[in-house]
Structure 1
Amino acid sequence: MAGTGVRLTLLVLSSLGFWTLWGFPLKNNLLHFLGELSEPGASIPGPVYAPMKQSFTGIGPLDKQLTTLVGFFYTAIDGNRIDISLTFLNLGSQVLAAWILITTESYRVGNKDSFIIKSITLFGLSVAIVGYACVAPIWFMLHLWLSKATKNPKDYNLVLDQPIRLALAPVATIIGFGIPSVVMALPAPSVLSFEAKQNWTAIQQGWPLWIYLAQKALETLASWSDPMVSMRTEQQKRAETVKYMRRAYLFALSSSAFAHLTYTGLGLVAWFAPEMLSTKLQVQLSPDNFFIPPNPFSDVTATTLPNGALWFLQWDLIIGTLATMVWGVAVALYRKGNQGSLEAWVSALIKYGLIAAAIGPSGAAVTAIWGRDELVLKSKTE
């Protein structure tokens, strides 16, 4: 699969993402259900009645968008549908793992002249608004086209300009993404009020901006504690790049593997040992409901908002993470100079497909890019 073929594949995946996340929801009534949340007297989705909050900022268009997003994600965090919650957990964790890879690419010396590769906060906001399956394949396609670090994977291109930034990235990600996500998932009304839960869900939607602000704050603190932290020799940069890269990639692998194993493990229990679960969980986690979304080109309709939300998350997970793995494999094959070899692609997809089955597709992408980095950088530090 030559470079053009990979980029075309990613473009097709993005097109499919736009259909499954926007065209299909328009047909299956999900967007209709979400639109009703902005009407006077609307209640939060689910069996419990509580007013749907419709004013968050005082800015009409922004509040309407936040009402839609909060109503959508509320179905994943209210505790009534474990199938939606587990799919959301897996999707969020796979995106988080990919985010570490994307952040690393934005810090490489070889990519410092590319506005698109460096502007990851804009990318993240696009993901939050449009959907990972829509936006991520486009970013991956542009990265493969524009990245000097990928097309010419030499140590001087892969090294980080300021390695300390990658050392701080997992912490910034936990602060900006992890903390709001955990807080919004706290139960209501026992821990949070229904209004507070909706407020935190709205706050979580700005996660790319919160990560950016946390990163900048941490970098400022690092420069205060060590004024020379951003001034390193080339040898020091290589050594610190390898050290901090390993820590960041381990963080990404942990994120991908934990959620993937939880998601698939419970799904497999429902498949092979359903008697271990309650009747409600057997229905929600049945393979034809939990693992397999409906055909997005069929005329199937959602009878409730949660059903449509599940289908949305399933397709976002499938398409977005498949694009992530394809990108990771493509980056790894560039180092070997055989990205155009069909045999190399088949072998790599089998290898990383098995890894994806064990630790998740984003985890497979991490292992692919990590292996490339080790081979190129480690030899220069020994």
Structure 2
Amino acid sequence: MSWTTRLGQLVLVGLTAFGFKALLLFSLANGFVEHTQQPHATGKFLGPSLPSSSTKDVFKHEDVPMKPWLSGISQRMDRQNQDFLIFMWPFVDGTRPDAALVFANFAGAAGATWMLIVVESTRKAHQNKRLLAYVFPWGYLFFHYSHAMTTPLYAIWNLFWSPLETTSRKQDYVINRVETVGLLVSQVVAYVIPMALFAAPVPNVLSVFQKQTVVAWYQPWSVWIAVTHFLVTIIARSWIRQPHPEGSSTPAAYRSARSNHRAIYAFTFALAAIPHLVVLSITLTALLFPGLYSSRLTSLLSLQNVFIPPSPWSDTKAPHLVEGCKWLLQWDYITGSTGVLVWVLTRYIALQMSTSREKRASWFGLAGKVLVWTVLVGPTAAAVEILWERDEIVLDAAIEEATLAEAKKAS
């Protein structure tokens, strides 16, 4: 294991510890955990609404009944669904635009992150290693214990066990056509469409009861993605003809693999980048053209309010459930997305270090690229772009080697 990989793992350990502090300990200290118990006690949410002119409070609250459809089979399962609903409802009830923007940004990044994790499990080198091909436990940890703490731990695991750092076989990077179809279809059907339902207005499209039920039962989202992926790949194997035999190392086989990778990365990049661009555009509009919004909306949609949570070492208290939820998800996004970027950069730098000096990318150029992409499209989309570039380098080299080998054989 190279020193760059060890350094990357050390940074990821630090991010995991920071995630524990920023999410769990800060949530306990700022009073957020106490706020989450109130809906259980009353059976209602305290949903913020526009303040009246007769009050000086920032928010006036109204009661929203908490009545999702529950199984009635397992009290523990029902309680878990209710806990998830209590956390998610402030982001999807439509009363706080800043919370909705924070969630949109997080949802894009989390979906893209999980896509990258599943992509790793489908690579040829990892299909033969159960420790890397079986990612269901990581999905369980992801939706139970946060993006911020799970993603860095997965990255450490991947960096430790993956043979990609030491292998010289370009075939080990390849993702076949069936897995490509499975990845794309499962992510659209089991992630993008449910996220669209999260955004559906109440009661125009969904009733309060229907929307709460959708939110509560979508908690194990990685399970729904895995089931869909499994079913799609079974169907795809009988309908899609692999253009080249498994393990083929011809130029045409590598070009086909490169097309598969490009489709996967283009979709994943869009999944992370589009929400970030939309959120960034709205906050910049509020900053540059404040007259377009009321003073309250201008404050809610400010860059600082949407992107920067309070320090986890501060004594700041969450005034109500909505603010506590927002701070937790902001730190979850920041820490988890940084973990993805560190993981991918570790992989990319390891590849660069394995090549001759004249073929290496400029370190200043890499740093500038990461900085620009992070600001414009977010750290997760930046990570996708870097990993995409890494695979392009590998597959372009494979095509060149295979072409030379064929030419030598023909002569």
TM, length-normalised to structure 1: 0.92
Query: How far does residue 36 in structure 1 lie from its aligned partner after superposition?
Result: 2.1
8 A contact 1:73–1:201 mirrored in 2: yes
Other-structure match for 1:369: 387
**Amino acid in structure 2 at the alignment position of 1:206:** P
Superposed CA deviations along residues 292-314 of structure 1, whole A, max 9, x for unmatched, are 21111111110110011110111
SS at match of 1:50: strand
User: In the alignment, which residue of structure 1 is the partner of 2:80?
Assistant: 65
Match of 1:356 in 2: 374
Equivalent residue number for residue 291 of structure 1: 307
**Deviation of residue 210 (structure 1)?**
0.9
What is the DSSP-based 3-state SS (H/G/I as helix, E as strand, rest coil) of the residue aligned with 1:49? strand
The aligned length equals 379
Verify: 1:211 aligned to 2:225, yes or no: yes
Q: 1:254-299 CA deviation, whole Å, 9 max, x = no partner?
A: 1122111111111122223222222221110123322221111111
Percent identical among aligned pairs is 26
Give the equivalent residue in structure 2 for 1:379. 397
1:43 counterpart residue number = 45
Find the counterpart in structure 1 of residue 262 from structure 2: 246
The residue aligned with 2:183 is 169
Question: Do the aligned residues in 2 keep the contact of 1:169 with 1:215 (CA within 8 Å)?
Answer: yes
Q: Paired residue for 2:13, among 3, 11, 14?
A: 11
Letter in 2 for 1:367: E
- Give the SS at the match of 2:344: helix
Give the RMSD, CA atoms, in angstroms. Answer: 2.4
Match of 2:119? 104
For 2:257 and 2:10, locate their aligned partners in 1 and report how far apart those are by CA, in whole Å. 32
Partner of 1:95: 110
Going from structure 1 to structure 2, the CA distance change for 1:56 and 1:178 (only over 3 Å counts) comes to: same
Query: Which structure: larger Rg?
Result: 2
Q: Distance in 2 between matches of 1:338 and 1:196?
A: 54
Task: Give the 3 Å change call, closer, same or farther, for CA 182–240 of structure 1 in structure 2.
Answer: same
Cα deviations across residues 154-189 of structure 1 (Å, max 9, x unaligned)?
Answer: 4022123x4321232121111111122211321222
What does residue range 45-194 of structure 1 map to in structure 2 within 5 Å? Answer: 45-46=47-48, 47-53=61-67, 56-58=70-72, 59-152=74-167, 154-160=169-175, 162-194=176-208
Q: Which amino acid aligns with 1:163?
A: R
Distance 1:203 1:44 in 2: 21
Whole-Å separation in 1 of the counterparts to 2:282 and 2:219:
27
CA distance in 1, matches of 2:179, 2:312: 41
By how many angstroms is 1:9 displaced? 0.5
User: Which residue of structure 1 aligns with residue 406 of structure 2?
Assistant: none
Matched, 1:257 2:267: no
CA 1:268/1:190 → structure 2, altered by over 3 Å: closer, same or farther?
A: same
Secondary structure of the 2:66 match is coil
Aligned-partner Cα distance in 2 for 1:8–1:194: 45
Gaps of 5+ in 1: none
Of 41-50 and 305-314, deviating more is 41-50
Q: 1:17 to 1:153 in 2, by over 3 A?
A: farther
